[in-house]
């Protein structure tokens, strides 16, 4: 470990929900829950106002609705969040060449490698300026942890939430960690925490006192060694600038089990096309096609096929996924489908099968974007007007969908810089109403570049 708190961990505060509140004046200061809205959906993020009612990330959406029935429930806009994330990550890259993103809203930064901090005073100044720059550029808040290691920096940022900064001075780590719950440490989830509790170990001090041999006996060699080192505040992991992607995949969970084999096939084709678009956006190709099927009884089957060379051809991926589906029994219904590509490379190899399939299919996918197959467009109105997504009306201007159903869509007309707006209801096929791109959260900021907003 280094002798200065020059590792920074940034964690944006309730990121998805905060972005929605910033985008929608009528939701500011109110409970907002973002996630899948179907009966099998889960919470992606809950605003701090919603957390007061006990709503938490990864909670089943049905449970969240029982806890907070009056909250606003919105479908995620990942393209929108990704565009904001790129703004934030740009600020981090301006500080150091060593930035390790963990997700859209979380990253480590090695300030020493960037030459911007060398002691506690300079690190704190950098952290405070970063928080101010994020607020100025995005209108959102982030919490910052500063410490001499990644583990401690992440713990510090959690202690700083919401909208704060915590710096752990080198030499004070053991005293700070000691009284904390074992669940504070990375890798200690509910199961491990319960196992340790039954052994009389509930705090980090208890872990340190138990000794390495006892932890190895309780948890196994690798986990026991790692936890003992963390209990002693030892963490030598460097900030890694690039994490090589091992696979690219997409999946969908369905509100109602799909029983029709033809419909299952169409869904697999659609997922294959989405997966190829992600591959191409990342400049990648891959050799192994993977199909994931979760059946009505929650059993999950995975099938894969390795090609002779890497590809990003949609026809190849579709055909391979279809062959894999032929080997899976979907009798009884399907609740989740996924298509992925692994064995990634940054080049493609000509494939005779792709040539036989014809180049027209590739062009068709590029033009289709994220549109649903024609046969599916009329099945679920929600896909056309997801709650929370942006729209524009020829007369009333920019707004967002509050809800839809029974052939109607309800829209609140407001923008990030306006007062809370009025609500109006239209037919779902109103020719004057169309999907729109999100507006910048901060007046004067550059427009957000968002791909597939309505997807």
Q: How many CB atoms lie within 10 A of CB 452?
A: 14
What does the block give as tokens for 249?
Answer: 């995949």
Distance CA 195, CA 216 (A): 13
- Which residue has tokens 């994220």? 370
Q: Is 226 left (phi over 0), alpha (psi -120 to 50) or beta?
A: alpha
For residue 220, is it left (φ>0), alpha (ψ between -120 and 50) or beta?
Answer: left
Which of 100, 106, 112, 319 is the catalytic position? Answer: 106
Q: Rounded to an integer, what distance in angstroms lies between the CA atom of residue 193 and that of residue 197? A: 6
Residue 35: both structure tokens together: 């996630």
Q: Which two tokens stand for residue 283?
A: 């400049």
Which 3-state string (H, E, C) describes 185-246?
A: CCCCCHHHHHHHHHCCCCEHHHHHHHCHHHHHHHHCHHHHHHHHHHHCCCCCCCCCCCCCCC
Separation of alpha carbons 174 and 177, rounded Å: 5
Kindly give the interhelix angle for 261-281 and 360-368, rounded to the nearest 10 degrees. Answer: 80
Q: How do 165-167 and 285-295 pair as beta strands?
A: unpaired
CA atoms of 400 and 415, how far apart (whole Å) = 9
Query: Which residue, among 244, 229, 56, has the nearest Cα to 152 in the 3D structure?
Result: 229
Please give the helix or strand (H or E) that residue 265 lies within, else none: helix 261-281
Can you give the three-state secondary structure of 376-388, one letter per residue? Answer: HCCCCHHHCCCCC
Closest CA to 234 of 183, 166, 185, 196: 185
| Residue 106 is among the residues annotated as catalytic for this protein | yes
**Strands lying side by side in the sheet with 43-46:** 43-46, 32-35, 72-74
In whole angstroms, give the CA distance from residue 350 to residue 345: 14
Q: 7 - beta bridge partners?
A: 110, 147
Active-site residue list:
106
């Amino acid at each position: 470990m280094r002798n200065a708190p020059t590792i920074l961990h940034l964690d944006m505060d309730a990121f998805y929900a905060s972005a929605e509140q910033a985008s929608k004046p009528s939701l500011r200061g109110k409970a907002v829950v973002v996630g899948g809205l179907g009966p099998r959906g889960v919470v992606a993020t809950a605003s701090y106002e919603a957390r007061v009612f006990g709503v938490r990330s990864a909670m089943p959406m049905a449970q969240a609705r029982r806890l907070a029935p009056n909250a606003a429930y919105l479908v995620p806009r990942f393209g929108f969040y990704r565009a904001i994330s790129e703004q934030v990550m740009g600020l981090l890259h301006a500080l150091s060449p060593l930035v390790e993103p963990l997700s859209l809203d979380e990253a480590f930064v090695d300030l020493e490698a960037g030459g911007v901090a060398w002691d506690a005073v300079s690190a704190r100044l950098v952290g405070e300026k970063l928080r101010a720059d994020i607020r100025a550029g995005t209108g959102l808040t982030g919490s910052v942890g500063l410490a001499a290691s990644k583990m401690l920096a992440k713990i510090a940022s959690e202690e700083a939430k919401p909208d704060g900064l915590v710096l752990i001075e080198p030499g004070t780590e053991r005293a700070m960690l000691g009284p904390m719950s074992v669940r504070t440490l990375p890798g200690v989830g509910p199961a491990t925490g319960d196992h340790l509790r039954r052994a009389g170990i509930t705090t980090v001090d208890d872990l340190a006192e138990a000794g390495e041999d006892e932890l190895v006996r309780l948890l196994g060699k690798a986990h026991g060694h790692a936890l003992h080192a963390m209990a002693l505040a030892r963490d030598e992991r460097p900030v890694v600038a690039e994490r090589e992607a091992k696979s690219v995949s997409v999946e969908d969970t369905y509100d109602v089990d799909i029983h029709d084999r033809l419909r299952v096939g169409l869904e697999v084709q659609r997922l294959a096309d989405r997966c190829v678009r992600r591959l191409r956006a990342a400049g990648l190709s891959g050799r192994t096609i993977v199909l994931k099927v979760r059946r009505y009884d929650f059993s999950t089957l995975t099938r894969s096929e390795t090609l002779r060379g890497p590809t990003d051809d949609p026809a190849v991926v579709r055909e391979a996924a279809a062959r894999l589906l032929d080997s899976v029994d979907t009798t009884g219904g399907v609740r989740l489908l996924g298509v992925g590509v692994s064995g990634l490379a940054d080049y493609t190899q000509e494939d005779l099968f792709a040539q036989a399939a014809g180049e027209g299919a590739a062009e068709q996918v590029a033009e289709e974007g994220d549109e649903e197959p024609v046969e599916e467009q009329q099945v679920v109105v929600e896909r056309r007007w997801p709650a929370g997504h942006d729209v524009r009306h020829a007369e009333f201007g920019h707004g967002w969908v509050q809800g839809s159903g029974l052939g109607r869509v309800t829209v609140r007309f407001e923008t990030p810089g306006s007062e809370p707006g009025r609500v109006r209801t239209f037919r779902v096929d109103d020719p004057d109403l169309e999907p729109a791109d999100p507006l910048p959260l901060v007046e004067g900021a550059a427009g957000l570049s968002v791909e597939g907003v309505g997807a």
